[in-house]
Amino acid sequence: MQKFSLAEKVAIITGGASGIGKSIARNFSASGAYVHLLDIDEAAAKTTVEEIRKEGFRAEYHLCDISVQEQVVNTVTGIRKRHPINILVNNAGIGLVGNVEQTTEADFDRIFRVNVKGVYNCIYACIPPMKSEGGGVILNMASVVSWVGIPDRFAYSMSKGAVLTMTFSVAKDYLEHNIRCNSISPARVHTPFVDSYLAKNYPGREQQMYDQLAATQPIGRMGKPEEIADLALFLCSDEASFITGSDYAIDGGFIKINN
């Protein structure tokens, strides 16, 4: 029997159109899951779904702003009418650079709406169908900033700290319903977001700045989206059935060796 199989599982992945979410979607579908992507970038989501289908796997996308509870509930309800919901991956999130003085109220509210309320909305919508189906798996994307301080990430750190503690709370509350809840805390991962950030803020010096950012990981490089996706696959598979209420750093040694 194939290890880490998600055959006959239905997985909802937020922010599944690009970066880490896209890698998770491709990995899960290749392992047998019927993948539903929730994203606000319709063009990118459509492209990702087309790529997955060309490989012979099953996927759909849903245009959904996770910060709006009504949209999330309606989307999840629509999926639930057609199949059970076995897995939720709360991957969608946004970043912000700045300390507390540089963070406006609008900045703070925007980070909170997506990174905290968005995770809450998706868990809120998925818990009832998971309970009715006898269980499920929730995986949240936290961050190394959930555990250690790094400069100029005030609001982002706040949001990812909330994701971490939501993970612990949900794991505790739904043990008797056979719902497992864990999180992953990546350090820097090389995604299109990193490339666009460098191009916007360091034109002409992209490679130099990339190398500097990569060097902050003791292992000497950034992570790859596929590496995060492999860990996600394990944590959402039956092989991880004894794991709940845990956070997994995948950080090139950043938390334990740098701090």
How does pLDDT run across 69-126, given as a tens digit for each residue? 999 999 999 999 999 999 999 999 999 999 999 999 999 999 999 999 999 999 999 9
Work out the number of other CB atoms within 10 angstroms of the CB of residue 33: 27
Task: Indicate the fold that domain 10-188+226-258 takes in CATH.
Answer: Rossmann fold (3.40.50)
Q: What is the rounded average pLDDT for all residues in the chain?
A: 95
Closest-CA residue to 49 (of 20, 92, 18, 93): 18
How does pLDDT run across 28-76, given as a tens digit for each residue? 999 999 999 999 999 999 999 999 999 999 999 999 999 999 999 999 9
What is the pTM (predicted TM-score) of this model?
Answer: 0.95
Contact 21, 37 (CB under 8 A): yes
**214-224 mean pLDDT:** 92
Contact 91, 18 (CB under 8 A): no
Catalytic residues, by residue number, are 156
Indicate the DSSP class of residue 68.
Answer: S
Apex 91 CA angle, 100 and 18, nearest 5: 105
> pLDDT higher for 202 or 25?
25
* DSSP structure string for 35-55: EEEEES-HHHHHHHHHHHHHT
Confidence of residue 209 (pLDDT cuts 50, 70, 90): confident
